[in-house]
Amino acid sequence: MVTGLGTYLTLSAVLFGIGAAGFLARRNLLLQLMSIEIMLNSVNLALVAINRAHPDSHAGQVFAFFVIAVAAAEASVGLAILISVFRLKKSVESDRADLLKG
Amino acid sequence: MTSLFGDWAALMPLLVLAGAGMAMLLVDAFVKENAQLGLFSAVILAGTAMVSIGLWDEQVTAATPALLGGYLASDRLALFADVAMCLGAALASLLAGGYLREHKLDRGEFYVLLVWSTLGAMALVRATDLLSLFVSLEALSLGVYCLVAFRRHSPKSAEGAMKYFLLGSFASAILLFGMALLYGATVHTDFAGMAEALRTGETGDGPTDLRLGILGMALVLVGLAFKVSAVPFHMWTPDAYEGAVTPATTFMAVVVKAATIVVLVRVFFGVFGTEMLAAETSGWPSAVFGLAAITLVVGNVAALVQKNVKRMLAYSSIAHAGFLLVGIAAAAQLDEGRLTTETVSSVLFYVLAYTVSNVLAFGSLIVVGSRGKEAVSYEDLAGVGRRHPWVGVPFTLGILSLMGFPPTAGFFAKYWILEAAVNAGGAMTYLAILAVLMSAVGSYYYLKVLVYLFMKQPEQGAPVAVPMRSGYVVAALVLSSYFVLRMGLAPTAYLELAQGASYQLAGLPDPSAQPAEPAPADEAPTEVAAAPE
């Protein structure tokens, strides 16, 4: 059985959609952060699968490594901001973030 | 430059700033007065701008492409953006030197974050590969998220940072997915290879998948539109701008916007500039056209109803993003299957003018308030211009320049964008008319600031704003006033720089260059042979 590139790309798009839907629908900041991680990892899947279909260079795989590293940096900054929000508001619900309006 | 640093000259602006950024981490441990770090970072940022100017006439040697590995460009577009961004960042750190001390937020990491974010922005405007674009965009963004969250004990600051972070990383993920699809379509991550594959329909490993390519292009446009805060992707802008400390707001308004506009130009003109993708009715120019129109309307109308001056300036920055997009849409006109990239110079001039005007407006807002009495609403400004003319004059100048009133920088910036739009003809004429109408709407909220400054008096019992005293802030105001007036009275020199950048991007000979100048390619091989290993 051969799994074509289209299958991987479809799975990647579905994962990306799940992440995006989770980001938009969830009201818990932690879950929103996790949704973003799902989106980034769906991209990694697409990159690696495309690279497998076109194995002349390793651009896609290298790219995936960079995405992993950047996602880690992003998560650390995001969690730091989240902790600061939690300390001040005692809540991680994004609905409570209503000081800035207009 | 080349005589001093050889082949490494092309990387000098980045290396200087990176070295200085590391030095700052060390210096931070030893200085007693953190505001001095503000002066230090302003000096090194200005120095970096000088290095970039020094590279203007010889950006590359024969060895540069191999040195940069196809990941970074070294061209006049990048150098021009360097100058605008380093100038903006230098002025923002001067503002921070006064502001942070006044408001007891004086911690050295602010300046370090600012310098490293600027480095990310400088790498971003040089990016010629999807990989370097993504990494440098994140290097820029992560620093700015921290700058927004800088006031740790303020719930507003934390909330603004959280919103900015969530929407910013959501946008990054969308952009990244678009990049992956483009990689799938063209099997290249370098811009030149992608452009070639999109143009010829041949990737070198099978045909180009145009459906994936168009989807990827759309996602990249959405991701970048988030970052330039174009409507309908602008929701984070007012909150992040209001929540951040004002020098950080200044930095976001000038550096982040300049960098993303330049990268938008490089990607869309460089990669998607093919006849099919840039077709007038069905290609990306029509999408940019739509974004520009809705951004102009929403930005200006929403700014009308704001009571907080910082929020008003945030919406005004959205409106300015609309103007920049008008310039991009106007430049994206196909002429015999080739994009007329040379009119991008109007966009570049606008970026420079907008940088200095915005620093002036935000800097004046900073100087109006003092400890515990930060000026936020229009009422806080009441009568300040009368009581303290030295505050009122720069504020007026900045506001008039943002409005586009002669003889300030903003006037010619708007004029050239509108000229480019009218020259493009067709539907662009209507967009130009809309832009003029929206500028008229905009003058209402800009003039409201002046009315409060000079014609109102504070109400009985209301707190009276006391301007702060700081040499750093005054220096930043004087410098930016100088540039605003200089660019308004003698804009030609700056326009020629912008034209030099856009002509090189278009691959045309620079009209201002001497014809007798020998082509660099003729000399280069001997230089390489002479260079020691």
User: Is the CB of residue B131 less than 8 Å away from at least one CB of chain A?
Assistant: yes
Look at residues B74, B33, B73, B26 and name the one whose alpha carbon lies nearest to residue B54.
B74
The minimal CB distance from A77 to the residues B146, B187, B188 is found for B146
pLDDT digits (tens, 9 = 90+) for B2-59: 777 777 888 899 999 999 999 999 988 888 887 889 999 999 999 999 999 999 887 7
Cα distance between residue A88 and residue B397, in whole Å = 39
User: Is the CB of residue A43 less than 8 Å away from at least one CB of chain B?
Assistant: yes
Given an 8 Å threshold on Cβ–Cβ distance, is B169 in contact with A56?
no
Which residues of A are less than 8 Å from B306 in CB distance? 102
**Lowest-pLDDT range of A80-89, B271-280, B511-520:** B511-520
pLDDT digits (tens, 9 = 90+) for A4-30: 899 999 999 999 999 999 999 999 999
| Position B109, amino acid | E
pLDDT of residue B335: 67
pLDDT of residue B518: 41
Top mean-pLDDT range of A13-27, B368-382, B493-507: A13-27
If you average pLDDT over residues B121-134, what whole number do you get? 95
B262 confidence band (pLDDT: 50, 70, 90): very high
Q: For chain A, give the longest Cα–Cα distance.
A: 57
**Which of B129, B135, B159 to mutate against chain A (most A CBs within 10 Å)?**
B159
Given an 8 Å threshold on Cβ–Cβ distance, is A63 in contact with B238?
no
The minimal CB distance from B165 to the residues A20, A77, A88 is found for A77
B336 confidence band (pLDDT: 50, 70, 90): low
B519 confidence band (pLDDT: 50, 70, 90): very low
Which pTM was predicted?
0.92
Taking the CA of residue A74 and the nearest CA in chain B, the distance in Å comes to: 7
If you average pLDDT over residues B274-285, what whole number do you get? 83
Q: Is the pLDDT of residue B531 over 70?
A: no
Given an 8 Å threshold on Cβ–Cβ distance, is B183 in contact with A19?
no
The minimal CB distance from B183 to the residues A29, A50, A97 is found for A50
If you average pLDDT over residues B487-504, what whole number do you get? 90
Given an 8 Å threshold on Cβ–Cβ distance, is A63 in contact with B189?
yes
If you average pLDDT over residues B121-129, what whole number do you get? 95
**Lowest-pLDDT range of A28-42, B237-251, B331-345, B371-385:** B331-345
pLDDT of residue B481: 96
pLDDT of residue B512: 58
Cβ proximity of B103 and A38 under 8 Å: no
Given an 8 Å threshold on Cβ–Cβ distance, is B307 in contact with A102?
yes
Which residues between 323 and 382 in chain B have a beta carbon less than 8 angstroms from any beta carbon of chain A? none
Q: What ipTM does the predicted assembly reach?
A: 0.96
Q: What percent of chain B has pLDDT over 70?
A: 93
B509 confidence band (pLDDT: 50, 70, 90): low
Cβ proximity of B116 and B294 under 8 Å: no
Which residues of B are less than 8 Å from A40 in CB distance? 173, 176
Q: Among positive and negative, which fits the CA dihedral B30, B32, B38, B44? A: negative
Q: Is the pLDDT of residue B294 over 60?
A: yes
Which residues of A are less than 8 Å from B168 in CB distance? none
What is the torsion angle, in degrees rounded to the nearest 10, for the CA atoms of residue A65, residue A68, residue A69 and residue A72? -170
The minimal CB distance from B311 to the residues A5, A97, A102 is found for A102
A2 confidence band (pLDDT: 50, 70, 90): confident
pLDDT of residue B514: 46
B22 or B279, which is more confident: B22
**SS3 assignment, position B68:** helix
Cα distance between residue B317 and residue B10, in whole Å = 32
User: Is the CB of residue A2 less than 8 Å away from at least one CB of chain B?
Assistant: no
Q: Is the pLDDT of residue B488 over 90?
A: yes
Question: Any residues with CB less than 8 A from the CB of B518 and at least 6 apart, and which?
Answer: none
pLDDT digits (tens, 9 = 90+) for B172-191: 999 999 999 999 999 999 99
pLDDT of residue B332: 84
**B241 φ, ψ (degrees, to nearest 5):** -65, -40
Cα distance between residue B296 and residue B436, in whole Å = 10
Cα distance between residue B99 and residue B472, in whole Å = 9
Cβ proximity of B99 and B473 under 8 Å: yes
Look at residues B252, B233, B232 and name the one whose alpha carbon lies nearest to residue B242.
B252
Question: Any residues with CB less than 8 A from the CB of B532 and at least 6 apart, and which?
Answer: none
Q: How far is CA A13 from CA A33, A52, B359, in A?
A: 19, 17, 42
pLDDT of residue B440: 94
Question: Any residues with CB less than 8 A from the CB of B363 and at least 6 apart, and which?
Answer: B91, B95, B250, B394, B398, B473, B476, B477, B480
pLDDT of residue B4: 75
Given an 8 Å threshold on Cβ–Cβ distance, is A81 in contact with B165?
yes
If you average pLDDT over residues B192-216, what whole number do you get? 90
Q: Is the pLDDT of residue B266 over 60?
A: yes
Cα distance between residue B438 and residue B420, in whole Å = 17
User: Is the CB of residue A100 less than 8 Å away from at least one CB of chain B?
Assistant: yes
Q: Is the pLDDT of residue B532 over 70?
A: no
Cα distance between residue B518 and residue B513, in whole Å = 11
Taking the CA of residue A1 and the nearest CA in chain B, the distance in Å comes to: 22
Q: Is the pLDDT of residue B526 over 70?
A: no
B217 or B8, which is more confident: B217
pLDDT of residue B464: 79
The minimal CB distance from B162 to the residues A36, A73, A82 is found for A82
Cβ proximity of B316 and B442 under 8 Å: yes
Q: Is the pLDDT of residue B400 over 50?
A: yes
Q: Is the pLDDT of residue B358 over 60?
A: yes
**Which of B165, B237, B306, B310 to mutate against chain A (most A CBs within 10 Å)?**
B165
Which residues of B are less than 8 Å from A80 in CB distance? 146, 149
Pairing assessment for the beta strands B338-339 and B334-335 based on DSSP bridges: antiparallel
Instruction: Name the residue in chain B with its Cα closest to that of A30.
Output: B166
Interface size A-B, in CB pairs within 8 Å, comes to 130
**SS3 assignment, position B340:** coil
A35 confidence band (pLDDT: 50, 70, 90): very high
Given an 8 Å threshold on Cβ–Cβ distance, is A12 in contact with B180?
yes
Cα distance between residue B404 and residue B407, in whole Å = 9
pLDDT of residue B523: 40
> For the domain A5-92, what is the CATH code?
1.10.287.3510
**B99 φ, ψ (degrees, to nearest 5):** -65, -50
pLDDT, chain B, mean: 89
* Cα–Cα–Cα angle for B177, B183, B186, rounded to 5 degrees: 140
Which residues of B are less than 8 Å from A60 in CB distance? 183, 189
**Lowest-pLDDT range of B41-50, B157-166, B255-264, B268-277:** B268-277
Which residues between 23 and 42 in chain A have a beta carbon less than 8 angstroms from any beta carbon of chain B? 23, 29, 32-33, 36, 39-40, 42
Length of chain A: 102
Given an 8 Å threshold on Cβ–Cβ distance, is A94 in contact with B162?
yes
Terminal C-alpha separation, chain B: 19
Look at residues B481, B483, B493 and name the one whose alpha carbon lies nearest to residue B396.
B481
Which residues of A are less than 8 Å from B154 in CB distance? 88
pLDDT of residue B141: 96
Cβ proximity of B329 and B288 under 8 Å: yes
Q: Is the pLDDT of residue B515 over 50?
A: no
User: Is the CB of residue B308 less than 8 Å away from at least one CB of chain A?
Assistant: yes
Both tokens of A25, joined, read 């629908």
Taking the CA of residue A76 and the nearest CA in chain B, the distance in Å comes to: 10
Domain boundaries, chain B: 2-514
Cα distance between residue B282 and residue A3, in whole Å = 34
Instruction: Name the residue in chain A with its Cα closest to that of B189.
Output: A59
Q: What percent of chain B has pLDDT over 90?
A: 67
User: Is the CB of residue B189 less than 8 Å away from at least one CB of chain A?
Assistant: yes
